Structure 1
Amino acid sequence: MFKENNIGFKNIQVVMTDKAVHENAVLCEMLPQARPLLCQWHVITWLKKQAARYVGAGKADVKSLLSILVYAKSTEE
């Protein structure tokens, strides 16, 4: 239905989703030309939860480093 109502769907280059993996699989199948991206908030929230589970005393440092990684504008940063 989306394709029929949006004739420019082939021009879609980026698709942003939340953390739902099943959505990503469907979008990749239906829009193979589009680059899938995860919502930044969901990524940061997940990383912070993971850091809290596995890191004791250095938890604040790890969370800070994870935020720096997420907000980096290039691979060099």
Structure 2
Amino acid sequence: MSHSSELSCLHQKHYGALKMSENYLKLSELMAYLKLGRSSIYRRIEDGSLPKPIKPGRLSRFKQSEVLEALSRMETRRDN
């Protein structure tokens, strides 16, 4: 299963039929998908491996498209 379809399934599980032009992931969803802890996620944000979250108020939301781009870049670096 591709990154995109896995994240879409995860998003649908939590948000059901909610339709948005852009999917956003909660930190807990990103942690579950990547199987990383909070500090590991934020360490990768600081080193530029993962995108910074959008902060609506005190919440953190990650744009699914930016996460997928970051994972794609990591795969490219690994394969070269």
Q: TM-score w.r.t. structure 2 length?
A: 0.29
- Flag the structure with larger Rg: 1
